[in-house]
Amino acid sequence: MIEFKGNKFQNTRVLPPIKALNPTQAQYLAALRSSQQIVVLGPAGTGKTWIAATHAADLYRAGQIEKIILTRPNVPCGRSLGFFPGSLQDKFAPWAVPIADAIKERIGDAPFDIALKRGDIEMVPFEVMRGRSWKNAFILLDEAQNTSVAEIKTFLTRVGENCVSVVNGDVNQCDIQQASGLRRMIDLIRAHGLPVPVIEFELDDIVRSGLCAMWVRAFEGEGAPA
C-alpha cells in the first residue's frame, strides 16, 4: 500500500536492512552511514553498485534526502548515446537500468515511476552536468574509471550541502585512452589525506555467482578457482 502525503509517498512495506555478505561489504555499509563521500573500487559482482543504489533508496524512503542523482560517463562498448532515439534522458536510461532496478526493488515500481516523473530520481549525463548543483541528495557516479580528469573534477564540484556521494569503479577496467579521473581522485585523496574512505573489493569478495567469479578470475589471469 502506498500513501501519499504532500509531495512524498509513504510505503507501508517493511523491508529488512541491507545485509553485508562479507567484511568488505560491512566496511562499505559503515562508510555509507558515517561519511559524506565514499570511493568504492573492485571487480564486477562485488555489490558496489547494488549496495549504493539500495542505500540511496532507503534514505529516500525515510525522507533523509530529497533526490537521487544517477550518472556515469558515456563510454559504452563501441556505441555512443547518439545511436539511440529519444531525448538525452531516454538515451541515457539503458545504462542506468541496473541502478534503477535496485532502487525499484526497494521502493516499488509505482513509487519509482512517480519519483522519476517528479524529478526526485534524476539521470544526469555528463553532457549536461556543467553548471548544475545538488543538495539534499544521494549522488552515485558509476563506472568512474572511464571519466577523464576534467569530468571527475566537474562531478566532484557539483556536490552541495547535505549530500552523500559514491564514486564507484574498477581502475583495472578503464576504457578511455587518457588519464583516468578515478585514478587521479584516489591519488589526491591519498596525497592530501582527504577524509574520503576508499573501499577496495578483491576477487574473493565477488558475491554475484560462482560463474561471475570464475570469469573475472580468468580474465584477470588467475584462472578459474579449483
DSSP state of 25: H
Residue with the three cell numbers 542506468: 96
pLDDT number for residue 99? 87
- Residue 60 is predicted with a pLDDT of 95
- Spell out, as residue ranges, where the chain has pLDDT lower than 50: 1-6, 77-79, 224-226
| pTM of model > 0.75 | yes
Give the pLDDT confidence score for residue 77 in this predicted structure: 46
In this prediction, residue 221 carries a pLDDT of 77
**Per-residue pLDDT at 223:** 52
Q: Which residues have C-beta within 8 Å of that of residue 26, sequence separation ≥ 6?
A: 20
User: What is the pLDDT, as a whole number, of residue 4?
Assistant: 44
| pLDDT given at position 173 | 82
Q: What is the pLDDT of residues 25-47, one digit of tens each?
A: 999 999 999 999 999 999 989 99
Over residues 108-125, the pLDDT tens digits come to 999 999 999 999 999 888
| In contact, 182 and 48? CB cutoff 8 Å | no
DSSP string for residues in 80-114: -GGGS-S-HHHHHHHHHHHHHHHHHHHH-HHHHHH
Say whether 75 sits in a helix, a strand or coil. coil
Q: Are 168 and 143 a contacting pair, CB within 8 Å?
A: yes
